[in-house]
Amino acid sequence: MELSPPPSCLKAEYETIFTTDSLLFLHELISTFDEEVDQVLKLRVSRKAHLDLSGDLPSFLESSSHIRRDPAWRVLPVPPRLQRRHVDIGDLAPCDTQRFIQALQSPAQGIQVDFDDGNCPTYYNQIKGLCNVYKAVHNKFPNAPHISQAPVLMLRPRAWNMVEHNMMVGGKEAPGPLFDFGLLMFHCGEKLFRNGSGPFFYLSKVESFMEARLWKKIFVWTQLKLGLPLGSIKATVLIENVLAAFEMEEILYELREHSAGLNCGIWDYSASFINKFGLRQAFLLPDRSKYVNMEKRFLRSYMELLVQTCHRRGALATGGMAALLLPEDRDAHRTAMAAVSRLKLMEIQAGVDGFMVYDLGLIEPMQKLFQLHTEGDNQLHQLLEDVTVTPDDLLSMPSGGVTLYGLKYNIAVGVLFINAWLSGKGHFFYRGQVEDSATAEISRSQVWQWIRHQTQLENDSRVVSRRLVTDLSKELVMELLMELGTGRHSDRDKRRLLTAADMFLEVVLKRDFPEFITTYLNQDHTFLSSQNTGQVEAIGGEIPRPKM
């Protein structure tokens, strides 16, 4: 095992997290499961190749129909602290100490402690985030409540597609999710369990029941190693991929001793249609700003099937995150609150047991919305027995075209997300909303697909092409540079923005669709070199040596 030396300002945090015992545990965890991680990633490639070559569409699996037909099995009941989780705070990167402490002090029932979509996985951010979770669990933040009284921590490690560049195990970079999960469990698992507050996880971007089966093996192994009772780890699986929507019962079945339910969102899930079927004209996804929302048949069916599946098996079903930021102006504030309430009431009426918000000012209004329209801790009694969802329902693309506004909006979100990553941030604010890798994913996916299919704009006769997207990107950058010019911004900020625009064009003009924007950026020389400035500056002096 090799571990990169710490960023100069995080030596104490580094020593707290990377102890001899934690590294031995992490080495054994990664060595045990590394090959199986590679296998599930190769299985993804194989499934995608089959879909492309055969033209087939997914359906409910015949091989596991006995699991779906068996009415008897249930997931184990969740611990008391998970029974009532109406409102979680989403997209909370734990490296942001101030916001993390604010969340711990808030009346939210849970916090999505996010090492994935809302976090940029620089070495600094990972170490700082892990250490902040350690401090929260071990009650080392002076103004934060005891971990048994604070909102429950729903720990979200990185997804399978991410690697940790700063750790090598057996001559290979460590899988990002095992790095995050292993250190969180080693330092916090037992303490969380003893306080009836965990360990609880969110599992991102799971595509099949085979991936859920691997997580189950990892949970069982970890519990045995750390002396925790089997079933003490609970996990909510985010159904963010269209293929996983056809395997929800099987995913719950694999994790039935460890399930905290399933979660449905909108943007990663919508982007997965382009990922899996983007070459097919029949799956051209229209402008998301105008034609894609949870009321559309393919998304409504997905949410109804998720709620029905979960509740039939005694599992909790949670909805996505309200990304809106509440404005200070009174009239605008009232309008924004009404918009969020309408969308979240629709989810409550569909039967969800909870959802997320980003703005802390939405916590109590959304909790009141639940109290007004539901009874009890959750809606497990809502079985949706009259709902039938077919493969056609799940695969029906909404009608609609592409607007110039939608194209420009997608370009802006894509460019600004890359700019945020190059700044070491996993999310940013734009036009009154928080944007993260999920919205960046749908934005760049749509632009790639519209170019590929030479889609015509609704506004005029122009076709979405390389030239049009390049010209609009240049216009955006000029507008943003003018804004930067009026504030206190360095030449470095301006160069970074120009670099982000170039990288966005690289992504959307590629012949083959890059599967995840985060994987693409995480492997990109520009992003990697932006983290290594300290090493470069140290040349000629003494460069810190890796920990072996």
CA distance 323 to 36: 35
DSSP 524: -
Q: What is the pTM of this model?
A: 0.95
User: Per-residue pLDDT averaged across 122-143, rounded?
Assistant: 97
Model confidence at 185, in pLDDT bands (50, 70, 90)? very high
Percent of the chain whose predicted confidence (pLDDT) is above 70: 96
**What was the pLDDT predicted at 146?**
98
Task: Specify the 3-state DSSP secondary structure of 337.
Answer: helix
CA distance 158 to 181: 9
**What was the pLDDT predicted at 534?**
42
156 is catalytic: yes
**What was the pLDDT predicted at 547?**
64
Contacts of 422 (CB under 8 A, 6+ apart): 496, 499, 500, 526, 527, 530
CA distance 152 to 150: 6
User: Per-residue pLDDT averaged across 314-340, rounded?
Assistant: 96
Query: Is 427 within 8 Å of 420 (Cβ atoms)?
Result: yes
**What was the pLDDT predicted at 531?**
73
Which of 44, 81, 85, 156 is the catalytic position?
156
CA distance 284 to 301: 19
| The pair of three-digit structure tokens given for residue 321, joined into one six-digit string | 């995150």
**What was the pLDDT predicted at 530?**
74
371-383 pLDDT, tens digit per residue, is 999 999 999 999 9
| The pair of three-digit structure tokens given for residue 521, joined into one six-digit string | 């950026």
73-117 pLDDT, tens digit per residue, is 999 999 999 999 999 999 999 999 999 999 999 999 999 999 999
**What was the pLDDT predicted at 487?**
61
196-230 pLDDT, tens digit per residue, is 999 999 999 999 999 999 999 999 999 999 999 99
CB neighbourhood size of 396 (10 A)? 14
**What was the pLDDT predicted at 536?**
36
Task: Specify the 3-state DSSP secondary structure of 201.
Answer: strand
CA distance 397 to 277: 11
Which of 436, 444, 452, 496 is the catalytic position?
436
194 is catalytic: no
CA distance 343 to 320: 11
235-281 pLDDT, tens digit per residue, is 999 999 999 999 999 999 999 999 999 999 999 999 999 999 999 99
344-373 pLDDT, tens digit per residue, is 999 999 999 999 999 999 999 999 999 999
CA distance 317 to 311: 7
**What was the pLDDT predicted at 528?**
80
- Which is more confidently placed, 359 or 488? 359
Model confidence at 483, in pLDDT bands (50, 70, 90)? confident
| The pair of three-digit structure tokens given for residue 7, joined into one six-digit string | 């960023």
**What was the pLDDT predicted at 461?**
86
pLDDT averaged over every residue in the chain: 95
Chain-centre distance for alpha carbon 148? 26
